Structure 1
Amino acid sequence: MKIELAKSYGFCFGVKRAIKQAEKTKDAATIGPLIHNNDEITRLKNDFNVNTLNDISELGNEKKAIIRTHGITKQDLDNLKTSGREIIDATCPFVKKPQEIVEKMSSEGYEIVIFGDSNHPEVKSVRSYATTNNYVVLDENELNEVKFKNKVALVSQTTKKVEKFMQIANYLMLKVKEVRVFNTICDATFKNQEAIKSLAMKSDVMIIVGGKNSSNTKQLFLIAKEHCKDSYLIENENELDYRWFNNKKLCGVSAGASTPDWIIEKVVKKIENFS
């Protein structure tokens, strides 16, 4: 069986940047998991004494606080700034962009629509910058009962699919007099999604490696499953099952933006042993 890696996969710019910041800081605590990958979080804890807290209320004697890649709410950031701790802001620059857009558009009187998962930390952080009416949706039909005023601004969670984002944009343009559309989907997300689609279409089995709580990894899995029915989402090599590869000729492998190379390499090596 041949094994082929997607043309674009794994650590994105924002995650690489955050990992480097955490390794340099050491002896610190992150507000929420730094990234959505449990094995990498464990490595940072064991090798660099970087602890993970659920939120700022859990801060104790820590003198250094690292803001997760997904960002935190504006209120939590303001509270953190008054705590006297050293703040290391590892918020991905591509997440800061929608934060800034929402804050600016709200100040200009625009109602806000965010395409994303309302419970996702990135969306919570972005939404906290809105001072006008705001709505988080996964589908345009969720806006059917909303009576908008004259102007709306649309942004997206950075890891969502462009096609769905455009459907929501088109819906709003038919419903509201003035619509400002800001495509805040990360370019790395788009490239990874296109690459996995291309690979899945020709593969007999697909393995997607990443945190099961990772939005962008789940998106990759759904795209793979759409084009290759034998697609599997795993967090590490221990979840592989040799039976998945029986009578398969091509195994495609991709990974989420929070998946480090060392985990991907272990997965590939174990698949090679199966084949």
Structure 2
Amino acid sequence: MIIELAKNYGFCFGVKRAIKKAEQIKDAATIGPLIHNNEEILRLQKDFNVKTLENINALNDEKKAIIRTHGITKQDLADLKKRNIEIFDATCPFVTKPQQICERMSDEGYEVVIFGDENHPEVKGVKSYVSTKAYVVLSKKELENIKLPNKIAVVSQTTKKPEHFMEIVNFLILRVKEVRVFNTICDATFKNQDAIKELSVKSDVVIVVGGKNSANTKQLFLIAKMHCEDSYLIETEEELKKEWFLNKKHCGISAGASTPDWIINKVIAKIKTFVD
């Protein structure tokens, strides 16, 4: 059986930056999970004493706080700055960008449509920078019964599919007098999604490695599943099952943006024990 990695997969720029920061800072607390990968978070805790707090209210006597890659709300950041604690901002620059756009556009009187999951920490943070009115939607249907204003700005969660973003943009352009469109989808997301599509078409089994609470990882899995029925989402090699690989000729492997190489390597090694 051929085992082939996607052309683009794994750690993105923002995650690499955040992990490096956490390793250098040490003995700190992150506000929310630094990234969406439990195994890597456990490694940081064990090797660098970087612990994870649910929110800023969980801070006690910590001296150093790291803001997660997905960012935090504007209000939480303001509250954090009032505390006697050293702050290290590991918010991904691709997430900071829509925050800044939302703040600027709403200051100019635009209401804002955010294409994304309202419960995702990145979206919660971005929405908090809107001072007018924000509409968080996952499809154009959610906008159909809303009385829209004359001026609207549109941004996206960084991990969403561009074709779905364009459906919302096209819907708004036909109904709103002035629409300002900002493509805030991350380049790494484009590349990883294109790569898993290309790989899954020629594979008869696909393994996607990453946190099951990771939006970009789940998106990779959904794309793989569309083109290869025998696609599986796992967090570690322990979840692999030998029967998945019986009579398979080509195994494709991809990984979410928060998945480190050491986990991917363990997965590959385990698969090889099934087929050797």
Q: In the TM superposition, what are the counterparts of 1:235-250 in structure 2 within 5 Å?
A: 235-250=235-250
1:267 matched to 2:267? The reply is yes
Letter in 2 for 1:124: K
* Counterpart position of 1:173: 173
Output the CA distance in 2 between the equivalents of 1:214 and 1:272.
26
Output the CA distance in 2 between the equivalents of 1:107 and 1:84.
30
Offset, 1:187: 0.1
Output the CA distance in 2 between the equivalents of 1:224 and 1:82.
46
* Counterpart position of 1:8: 8
Output the CA distance in 1 between the equivalents of 2:154 and 2:212.
27
Output the CA distance in 1 between the equivalents of 2:107 and 2:148.
17
Offset, 1:2: 0.6
Unaligned runs of 5+ in 2: none
1:189 matched to 2:184? The reply is no
* Counterpart position of 2:120: 120
> Alignment RMSD, CA only?
0.4
Offset, 1:133: 1.0
Output the CA distance in 1 between the equivalents of 2:149 and 2:157.
23
Normalised TM-score (structure 1)? 1.00
SS of aligned partner of 2:270: helix
* Counterpart position of 2:143: 143
Offset, 1:66: 0.2
Output the CA distance in 1 between the equivalents of 2:108 and 2:120.
26
1:20 matched to 2:20? The reply is yes
Output the CA distance in 2 between the equivalents of 1:265 and 1:243.
20
Output the CA distance in 2 between the equivalents of 1:269 and 1:230.
20
Report the count of equivalent residues. 275
* Counterpart position of 1:56: 56
Return structure 1 stretches of 4+ with deviation > 4 angstroms: none
Output the CA distance in 1 between the equivalents of 2:150 and 2:207.
46
SS of aligned partner of 1:135: strand
Output the CA distance in 1 between the equivalents of 2:273 and 2:89.
41
1:234 matched to 2:234? The reply is yes
Percent identity among equivalent residues? 72
Normalised TM-score (structure 2)? 0.99
Post-superposition CA distance 1:66-87 (Å, at most 9, x none): 0000000000000001102100
Letter in 1 for 2:213: N
Offset, 1:149: 1.5
* Counterpart position of 2:155: 155
SS of aligned partner of 1:263: helix
Offset, 1:88: 0.4
Post-superposition CA distance 1:144-172 (Å, at most 9, x none): 11111211000000000000000000000
